A and B are shown apart, each in its own frame.
Chain A
Amino acid sequence: MLKKSKRKERKSSGVWRRLAKNKVAVVSLGILIVVFLIAVFAPLLAPYSYEMADLKHGLEGSSSAHLLGTDRLGRDVLSRLLYGSRQSLQMGIFSVTGAAVVGIIIGAVAGYYGGFVDNLMMRILDLFQGIPMFLLTIVFAAVLGPSLRNAIIAIGIGMIPSYARLMRASLLTVREQEFIEAAKSINASSPRIIIRHIIPNAISPVLVSFTMGMGGAVLSGAALSFIGLGVQAPIPEWGAMISDARSFMRAQPQLALYPGICVMVTVLAFNLLGDGLRDALDPRLKN
């Protein structure tokens, strides 16, 4: 037992070691951890409440009282940004996780059984993919009504087809390889073949896409809130904050700039981490 856990540790540390060599990925991971901690500890970090309005001091620039100034209702921008990370991360993580789980199951079933089941599922996905993804998301968000939960569902549904396709394609490639037959010839059971042989070789593209998808989902979430279909006022959300700042773009451009930078940095961090993960997960690049 001891030996086994030791071996597992060594194997996963291979991925970590290679990831650790990639400076960009490490910085991205660091940024994401910081964003995550901010989201968790927002109430402790924020100097003010996110909804405390102070109309006398609206639209002010940076000052010692308000480090990043105030918005049109005199609310502290820094506090709203800190709280906003909660909504953005939730939309990113939950929508993609849900989409990936559903997508992987659909893709695995379609790829494993093939034939009619495969055809039926893929044609249904074709229908979904025929509609531009963001349009689909907007439709679902509009039908379900604007709220954080519904935004997560809407974004997630739009992403399911790509995960299903990815998993299926990856599964099909691996399933045809000779080592699957080799495993069969030494009496490996189907569950063992799937768990030990197929999934480890088929999962990396999905894992990479999972990480990168979070960036996309954060962006979609911000976009939904920007057009008013996402998180509703007074709860702060980066996209909604940019939307709010539109009217003051000339006089107070920083109001749009700060949440914009937050979205950009988070999305970029997810994408670059995904990039690094792809390199780290490829055993052929192992050194």
Chain B
Amino acid sequence: MAALLEVNGLKKYFKSGSGMLHAVDDISFTLEAGKTLGVVGESGCGKTTLGRTILHLTDPTDGEIVFEGKDISNPTKNELKAMREEMQIIFQDPYSSLNPRMSVSTAIMEPLVLQGKLSKAEIRDEVKTLMDTVGIAKRFENAYPHELDGGRRQRIGIARALALKPKFIVCDEPVSALDVSIQAQIINLMLDLQEERGLAYMFVTHDLSVVKYISNDIMVMYLGQMVEKAPADELFTNTLHPYTKALLSAIPVPSIRNKKERIIMQGEITSPINPKPGCRFMARCPYAAEDCAAPQVLEEHSANHFVACCKYKTIKN
């Protein structure tokens, strides 16, 4: 099956006072229709920027984005417009991602109005259907965002993303601002929608238990680079990169008998501004050696399991 989305060597650098900030550095992956790619990493590792760059909310510095076989790395205005009907985003913070002066129905209507393909009556019907789909009661139609709780607000965000019937949605930590019981509702809603509509998700999060539950593949990012990528189960059972190991050891286990050994990382995160060519995790890695100062190559350890660490073979689990 041909990939829905193919990203090759995507880079996004920001100019900062003291040099170039490598927010996204040479990321490549493919995503098939109806599948979910989980992107995990700590705050500031560039996972959000990756999602925004793919959608051209910021322009990539370098690299190639291919969607349905079409190169959209440098889209024209019309291409961009068409592209955004296929690719949407659900934002992290449902409190700031909704215009406080737009009522629920106006907010959901907006993408359809801007698309300009449907008549007023059709739009009204479509808004009703969308509200129904994402589970917002009709009585909230004229409510304003501040009158709703976080879960309902995020449902509006989802309805807006769905309105244009996209094939691919970037989910930028869509549940991290919600409390746990609502997180589950929203994730289940998203999974249902995926099944119904064959959506592909790129699910950006720092919550590993969530990502395991919903992803087909998981990509682990560290300071803008992909350090490991594998099918979800494989990543959890056969962890290769020392950073992934440390990250996974931080998942809380709800048991007092089987205490897991935590890998506590020492040292500061390396600055993403003008990074050295070697492994960026080196400064905090317990297995760091001389070879690590050389650029790391992404190796395919087993089918579809990639790792960028020169020492992974010598590290025991």
A interface residues, Cβ below 8 angstroms from B: 3, 177-179, 181-188, 192, 196-197, 200-201, 283-284, 286
| Contact present for A185 and B84 (CB under 8 Å) | yes
| Interface of A (DSSP majority class) | helix
- Whether A186 pairs with B98 at a CB distance below 8 angstroms is no
Q: Report the bound CA distance from A196 to B81 in whole Å.
A: 19
Q: Is B91 an interface residue (CB 8 A)?
A: yes
The reply to whether B114 and A179 contact each other, CB–CB distance below 8 Å, is no
Min Cβ gap A286→B in Å is: 7
Q: A283-B101, A283-B146 are in contact. Are A188 and B110 (CB under 8 A)?
A: yes
Total cross-chain contacts (CB, 8 A): 65
Kindly list 20 other residue pairs between chains A and B, CB separation below 8 angstroms, not including A178-B96, A192-B114.
Answer: A3-B120, A178-B93, A179-B98, A179-B99, A181-B91, A182-B91, A182-B97, A182-B160, A183-B110, A185-B84, A185-B89, A186-B84, A186-B111, A187-B84, A187-B85, A187-B115, A188-B110, A197-B99, A283-B100, A286-B147
Note all chain B residues with C-beta closer than 8 A to A181.
52, 57, 91, 97
Report the bound CA distance from A284 to B147 in whole Å.
8
| A260 vs B108: C-alpha distance when bound (angstroms) | 54
Q: What are some 29 contacts across the A-B interface (CB < 8 A)?
A: A178-B91, A178-B93, A178-B97, A179-B97, A181-B57, A181-B91, A182-B97, A182-B98, A182-B157, A182-B160, A185-B57, A185-B84, A186-B88, A186-B110, A186-B114, A186-B160, A186-B163, A186-B164, A187-B81, A187-B84, A187-B111, A187-B115, A188-B114, A201-B101, A283-B100, A283-B144, A283-B146, A286-B146, A286-B147
Chain A positions within 8 Å of B84 at CB level: 185-187
- Chain A residues near B99: list those with CB within 8 A: 179, 182-183, 196-197, 200-201
* Top 9 closest pairs, chain A to chain B, by CB: A186-B111, A178-B97, A178-B96, A179-B99, A200-B101, A182-B97, A177-B96, A185-B89, A187-B84
Within 8 A of A (CB), among B79-136: 80-81, 84-85, 88-89, 91-93, 96-101, 110-111, 114-115, 120
Report if B45 contacts A (CB, 8 A).
no
CA distance A182 to B151 in the complex (A): 18
Least Cβ–Cβ distance between B197 and chain A, in angstroms: 18
Interface centre among A182, A188, A197, A283 (most CB of B within 10 A): A182
Complex Cα–Cα for A217 and B2 (A) = 69
B199 at the interface (CB under 8 A from A): no
Contacts of B65 in A (CB 8 A): none
A177 CA / B96 CA spacing, docked (Å): 6
Say how far A156's CB is from chain B's closest CB, in angstroms.
Answer: 30
User: B134-145: contact bitstring with A at CB < 8 Å (1 yes, 0 no)?
Assistant: 000000000010
Q: In the complex, how many angstroms separate the beta carbon of B83 from the nearest chain A beta carbon?
A: 9
> Would you list which residues of chain B between 140 and 177 have a CB under 8 Å from chain A?
144, 146-147, 157, 160, 163-164
| Contact residues in B for A3 (Cβ distance below 8 Å) | 120
Interface size on B, residues (CB 8 A): 30
CA distance A33 to B166 in the complex (A): 54
**C-alpha spacing A284/B146, complex, angstroms:** 6
Q: How far is the CA of A179 from the CA of B157 in the complex (A)?
A: 10
* Chain B residues near A (Cβ < 8 Å): 52, 55, 57, 80-81, 84-85, 88-89, 91-93, 96-101, 110-111, 114-115, 120, 144, 146-147, 157, 160, 163-164
State in angstroms the CA–CA spacing of A182 and B84 once bound together.
11
- Give A183 to B88 CA distance when docked, in angstroms: 11
State whether A286 and B144 are in contact (beta carbons under 8 Å apart), knowing that A182-B97, A182-B98 are contacts in the complex.
yes
A120 to B6 Cα, complex, angstroms: 44
Nearest-neighbor residue (CB-CB) of B110 within chain A: A186
How many Å lie between the Cα of A179 and that of B120 in the bound state?
24
Chain B residues near A196 (CB, 8 Å)? Answer: 99
B81 contacts across to A, CB distance below 8 A? 187
For residue B88, which residue of chain A has the nearest CB? A185
A284 / chain B contacts, CB cutoff of 8 Å: 100, 146
CB neighbours (8 Å) of B92 from chain A are 178
Q: How far is the CB of B43 from chain A (nearest CB, A)?
A: 16
Q: Which residue of A lies closest to B52 (CB)?
A: A181
Query: Which of B114, B115, B164 has its CB near the most chain A CB atoms (within 10 A)?
Result: B114
Which of B52, B57, B96, B111 is in CB contact (< 8 Å) with A179?
B96
Q: Report A-chain residues with C-beta under 8 Å of the C-beta of B80.
A: 187
Q: Which A residues are in CB contact (< 8 Å) with B55?
A: 185
- Closest A residue to B84 by beta carbon equals A187
Task: Tell me which residues across on chain B come within 8 A of A188, comparing CB atoms.
Answer: 110, 114
Q: In the complex, which residues of chain A have a beta carbon less than 8 angstroms from the beta carbon of B100?
A: 179, 201, 283-284
| Distance of A182 Cα from B99 Cα, bound (Å) | 9
Report B157 CB to chain A, min CB distance, Å: 8
Q: Nearest Cβ distance between residue A166 and chain B, in whole angstroms?
A: 18
Q: Count chain A CB atoms within 10 A of each CB in B101, B120, B144 and give the residue with the most.
A: B101
Please, how many angstroms separate the alpha-carbon atoms of A201 and B144 in the complex? 14
B85 nearest CB across to chain A (Å): 8
Inter-chain contacts of B164 with A (CB < 8 A):
186
* Chain A hits for B120, CB < 8 A: 3
Question: In the complex, A286→B101 CA distance in Å?
Answer: 11
Which residues of chain B have C-beta atoms less than 8 A from A182's C-beta?
Answer: 89, 91, 97-99, 157, 160
